Chains A and B, each alone.
Chain A
């Protein structure tokens, strides 16, 4: 099936505005990648340029969905961050981690496997950064108790977090962004991504077993150090823990039914945040709100406006035409290219700006392939769905390719360094890159088989 680029005749002009916007866009991406200036600063300044130079009007930036800030993404992130910030001091995550180590009977191999699974599940339900931020300290403690090298444990956790995060709408920022743009709901992700993520996790565990097999050993008396720990001591505030778990449970149920209830994911998250704030009985919400990761939130805001600028001037459309010319409208080829390109790109650069750019590009491509369709019929065109899933799988799994590929990796490397255990760039790559190739390869087979051969 070829869609000859009839839509290419639609005019857009490569005038001064076009080149100004393109230059701002390219320079800011280069500076973000170079890490010479903090990415949030770059994104906010570039976004303000788009407005000052009138490439984008303020109205478009704040209120037009296709061109400006995606408030659904912003408030979903803020809502979840507030819930986690209220939940963190209860000691729940330390409890889970110590309990897991004891479930592994102090055996390093078993602990690594249990931690990988726990990390993946928590990453699917919360964000990856929070998960590794909470589990890595306990991991370092347990490695010291067992007198084993903590680095393999930490790298495995980062990898499991990136794989687990792929499973759900709320698991990883790329998924949140794709869901909002493509109007996909929580259950779409459960049906389409969770099955393959389970397969990938099984593969990861087999690889762990194969690689570390009998290498990970400790002495009997050291295991006792773990077994003597009483995980109940981790719980600092049992009443608040009960409230948090109730609200988190309610929020998850809300996500499962948000499509049916016609509630946006951000609404569900904000409701959870509001309810838990109320139940916590706090008179001083200042620090809970201050601990929201504002740099990340403002990075998103800046990025949306920045990308909105190049969408408006037509750069993204031009790119989508190039992409169509490359694939000749072949959908399978498009899926595969999107997946592999996303994986490689996400291993090298932050996957958030990448997905922010790809989302409108894919929508533009869809407009040209199915010019008669609009709205939901276009965004959720059956032939477009596998491309969205390919983007999600590539962008999330690609993060495993290098220590800078995903936020979870950056956290783990930073924490290890603070603990005097430096993880070199190449040491991470030695674990992460082969896993990335393997998981993306399996995902490629999955997408091909499920959507292009079996068609379900």
Chain B
């Protein structure tokens, strides 16, 4: 099997000018798969071209103040700080906080290549590009795992 065989279609996307608050809202209402799974990351398209990807981890990173990453100040936070900081950065643009160097695969990439990239880069999702570099779908870590389940217990898995 290849990436295009297990990928899911991408229904919602963001633009670089979207605010963080709007992005969070899009993620909150978006559904994938059979419609019951929530979305924890979205791709950012600039005039149809892949500009970046944003995940809940990127949003957490944007909310943690830079001075905390510079020093060991974790013990000196207070109840309500996370909420306070979230409100403070709500109007920042997606382009300021998204991951720009997106790891992608081509439609014809074998699943092993996908699995390797997911593990090497600690990813949860891989945008799939066609020959014109357009996003045609997304391979999720869950779908890769599903392929393993199938291999072991369904078709060829039976001994």
Q: Mark B62-77, 1 if CB is under 8 A from A, else 0.
A: 0001111011110110
Complex contact B71–A138 (CB within 8 A): yes
The size class of the interface chain A forms with chain B is 20 to 34
Q: By the criterion of a CB under 8 Å from any partner CB, how many residues of chain B are at the interface?
A: 17
- Whether, in the assembled complex, B153 has its beta carbon less than 8 Å from a beta carbon of chain A, the answer is no
B66 to chain A, nearest CB (A): 4
* Most B CB within 10 A of own CB, among A137, A225, A228, A415: A137
B74 to chain A: closest residue by CB: A233
- A residues near B85, Cβ cutoff 8 Å: 144
The CA of A136 and the CA of B71, in the complex, are separated in Å by 10
Residues of A within 8 A of B70 (CB): 137, 415
Q: Once the chains bind, are B73 and A141 in contact (CB under 8 Å)?
A: yes
Interface secondary structure of B, over-half rule? helix
Within 8 A of A (CB), among B61-114: 65-68, 70-73, 75-76, 78, 81, 84-85, 88-89, 92
Measured CA separation A70–B128 after assembly (Å)? 59
Please judge, given known A-B contacts A144-B81, A144-B84, whether A233 and B76 are in contact too, CB under 8 Å.
yes
Cβ contact within 8 Å between A234 and B67 = no
- A13 CA / B65 CA spacing, docked (Å): 60
Residues from chain A with a CB closer than 8 A to the CB of B71 are: 94, 134, 137-138
Q: Classify the interface of chain A: helix, strand, loop or mixed.
A: helix
B66, A418: Cβ atoms closer than 8 Å: yes
B residues near A76, Cβ cutoff 8 Å: none
Interface residues of A in 122-162 (CB under 8 A from B): 134, 136-138, 140-141, 144-145, 147
Tell me whether A91 is interfacial, beta carbon within 8 Å: yes
CB neighbours (8 Å) of A420 from chain B are: 66, 88-89, 92
Q: A residues near B, CB below 8 A?
A: 91, 94, 98, 134, 136-138, 140-141, 144-145, 147, 225, 228-230, 233-234, 236, 415, 418-420
Given contacts A138-B76, A419-B65, 4 further A-B contacts (CB under 8 A): A144-B65, A144-B81, A234-B75, A420-B66
- Rank and list the top 4 A-B pairs by shortest CB-CB distance, nearest first: A137-B67, A233-B75, A140-B67, A225-B78
